[in-house]
Amino acid sequence: MRAAVCSCAILSISVEGEPGFLGACSCRACQKATGSVFSMSAYFPRSAVAAIAGEHRLYRRQSDGGRWLDFHFCPTCASTVFWYAEFDPDSIGIAVGNFTDPGFGPPQYAVWCEAQHPWVRFPEACRTFARHPDLRSQAPILVATTQS
């Protein structure tokens, strides 16, 4: 079981198993939301969610690609902990930095690299995309990791 918590520990989410995939996003919206040069996400099947505890608020925005994302954040500290994305309706995204376990690997893919800062370098095995492709069609990065 893995747990992710907000900065003030009021909002938490627990998931079972390993993430289906790990991804980085360098779009301008993620840069603004995280205050960093890219976001790092772990995507789990929705069925892996064991519990969501604590008050949270919803912020819906459109991605740079025009699809919606529903971000759930703590109303006290404003940390975004998890989200649902139109591009992957069967998964839940969780901010890797909110997990209490730092044992996550590097991203398997990076999207919106056309907006990344020039000094950012992802590992050689990480698939990079200028924008956001249909990730489910990007075999083998997801096919092998999302099937049970």
Alpha-carbon distance values, 72 to 10, 40, 113 (Å): 13, 16, 25
Q: Supply the pLDDT for residue 133.
A: 72
pLDDT tier for residue 146 given thresholds of 50, 70 and 90:
very low
CA atoms within 13 A on the CB side of 125: 7
Using CA of residue 20, residue 99, residue 58, residue 114, what is the dihedral sign?
negative
**pLDDT tens digits along 49-85:** 999 999 999 999 887 777 888 999 999 999 999 999 8
The predicted-structure confidence for 88-114, as pLDDT tens digits, reads as follows 888 999 999 999 877 888 888 888 888
CA 31 to chain centre: 13
The yes/no answer on whether domain 2-146 falls in CATH 3.20.20.70 is no
**φ, ψ (nearest 5 deg) of residue 103:** -85, 25
Strand-pair partners of 92: 44
Task: Answer yes or no: is pLDDT of 15 > 90.
Answer: yes
* pLDDT value of position 136: 55
Q: What is the mean pLDDT of the chain?
A: 85
CA dihedral for 26, 120, 125, 34, sign (positive or negative): negative
Span 76-92, pLDDT tens digits: 999 999 999 887 888 99
Rounded distance between C-alpha atoms, residue 124 and residue 58, angstroms? 35
Question: For the chain, which residues make up each domain, given as ranges?
Answer: 2-146
CA distance 72 to 83: 6
